[in-house]
Structure 1
Amino acid sequence: MKIDVKVPAVGESVTEATIGSWNKKNGEFVKRNEVLLLLETDKASVEVVAENDGVLAIQVEAGQVVKIGATVGILDTEGKASAVSSEAPKTAPVTASQPTQAPVTSSPASAHLSPAVQRIVTENNLNPSQIAGTGKDGRLTKGDVLAASTAAVAPTPAAAPAKTEAKSKAAPAPAIFAASGKLSKQGEKKIVPMTTIRKKIAERLVEAQNTAAILTTFNEIDMTKVNEIRNKYKDKFKEKYGISLGMMGIFTKAAVEALKAFPAVNAYISGAGAGTEIEYHNYYNIGIAVSTEKGLMVPVIKDADQMSLAEIEMAIRDYALKARDGKIGVDDLTGGTFSITNGGVFGSLMSTPILNPPQSAILGMHKVEDRAVVINGKIEVRPMMYVALSYDHRIIDGKESVSFLVKIKEGVEDPERLLFGV
């Protein structure tokens, strides 16, 4: 029996997807629930698994855009597997000038490839088992495979005589070389298409800038008490919950209390056209910005007001791992009412975050830095953080935005407030 491998429905607004990579080879025998391919939509990456045991026949190559419901392959439950190393039908035959690739063997570096790394490996016909990984536990990073792909196009020793002969005939220099024969200091230029997710990120950022009346207000927070609490309880917290006690959970708790006090910050502008209605929310779904190899993603912690500090920290960790491994689902990225981004992990001292439509505000955290401040008439050195709130002035007034940020400042500087909701 032959079973169609179809592109599954991954969200109401998603109509097409890009085949990021095939995890199985054409003609390979696969088992039920094994991952066949990775789809990239404008919101997330989605794994497609085998519905049954069978031999895979690939019909659409990696990199192609396909419609939801389209057939991209066939599983033959009665077929016999061909050689594992067989290529897909459309792959060009190997010529004498192309070195044959060694069989792929399992190694720590190639055992777990992220979607971005897998795509580069597939596009450049690389053998991951022959590349030295510099990531955690010897895993391959994007830089490893990019370096390997560059090295792959370099001339081999066997080709050297041909090159020498060509030079003796005074062949014209390639366009990337200057008249002197030396490589331009500007280097080569490489044009690559945007991924589906990167295109969507670009569209949404431009949409936010062109639609909302974005303003940003700033404040600074004394992190002394937060640092004291973290130092005091970090060992017990990690022993009990298996994760580190970070700052993001405390800021999420403080943001929820501020959102309760200022409902407009937790609202959307809705309605056709320019927006004629305000949609208020009685729930608090906090988006946490996560940087990945594919770009920025904002998974959403649903009903954050009903979660403990430990539950929030665990949710953040789980989303970060899913985002890194390309396993974030569409449901993980939708439904947010407010977002938090932390540029401080990259060393940012101050920034103006862009709204995450249709949300009306976003909090920007930054680097904690020792600074001289005046406390009770005396100059003291305190760990300080600048915070920024970008907001849509169409729905949030200046007084509300400033008061909202002050409310967060009070909650973080005096965490006992968060226990009593004051």
Structure 2
Amino acid sequence: MSLAYLYDCYLASGKVTTDSRNCAPGAIYFALRGDRFNGNDFARSALEAGCSLAVVDDESLKHTQGCYWVQDALAALQQIASHHRAMTAVKIVGITGSNGKTTTKELMAAVLGQKYKVWFTQGNLNNHIGVPLTLLAMPPGTELAVIEMGANHIGEIAALSKISQPDYGLITNVGKAHIEGFGSFEGIKIGKGELYQHLKQKGGDIFINGNNEHLTAMLGSYNGNVFRYGSNPEFEIVCKNASASPMLRFEWKAQDTGWNPVNTNLTGLYNLENALAAICVGYHFGVEKNLIGKALSEYVPENQRSQLTKTETNTVVLDAYNANPSSMTAALENFSQMNGTNKVLILGEMKELGEESMAEHRQMVHLIEKTDVSTCFLVGEEFKPHAPNKPGFFWFESTDELISFIRCNPIRNALVLIKGSRANRLERTMELL
């Protein structure tokens, strides 16, 4: 493969795609292989749709006009992205963690965007395909990029860090997410900690929740710059008077400055550390305090993450994008502190927990039983063995079954929490609430 040739082709249009149904004029199409598809099968369609070149790894297309053959199309995409990152002067902030990555990324982009031209990971493009696509989609003139990195196996964050080469970074937290892939909680810490290892080797700046003992232990000693946020008066960014009833509000200050009140559109105290991370990074980059507050107060969550919605008949906390034991526990604890006389839980099973799934779902039910709720709907096979046989608890095999039940038994005048893994698609219940 000629890296120089492919990069010149990319520079000519500035666009790449891996979807033959979404081809901007002149874009380069990378024919990736998946579990259920082979992108090579759509190379000709991509060219017909306006792509200037199709990068393929099927030998049958080796001499097809408009196709450029490589041994591995995914590797070629990653190499072009890595090269592009090295050729730009963009400063990159890398983010990973078990929970809160996307919210932290968006808050950080909102804060930095008050002063800089910022690009950031769109949606959930945070894996071995999404990170290269994010880097190659940076608009001209980008000064700072916030790159979200997700992983479910050891070695993935190291690989994504090698591609994106972040100059700064933070780990939001470590919790019981993707245990099946990482093997254990210790495996999760090793996998997420690969971002720290990259930054240490590069001499980059690290932002850290100084109150998080796991992160502090993972970081260990480092001679480079470390900026801490949390409740300790000695940290670079300090907070006090945090509450969420239901919207998060708090006060923060940097060393030797006055306190700054912030009212957000985020539900849950668990979002405090996400907001503080954005403040810490923004302050480090010289964003003025009033602009930091403006960005945080104007940010409105989307994508079913901690969204508070008032319908005609109910108040709903929609947090159905994903779920693991850590995030579900935090959501339940926050929900228990919210004021409401008729509280309803709609909870979907948690995925990718491997051998710990049985114990984690059992423990979650025990926590639910201690929560002051009127009704609890549990969805999915993982909850079935643990669903209590008592008034107020209902179990459904699927979201479709739950929807049928709610149609016949409407929920009215309730405070509702919807939380579950993406596979449950619990957001579909919203039309009935």
TM-score (norm 2): 0.27
Rg larger for: 1
TM-score (norm 1): 0.27
Structure of greater relative contact order (alpha carbons < 8 Å, 6+ residues apart): 1
Structure with bigger helix share is: 2
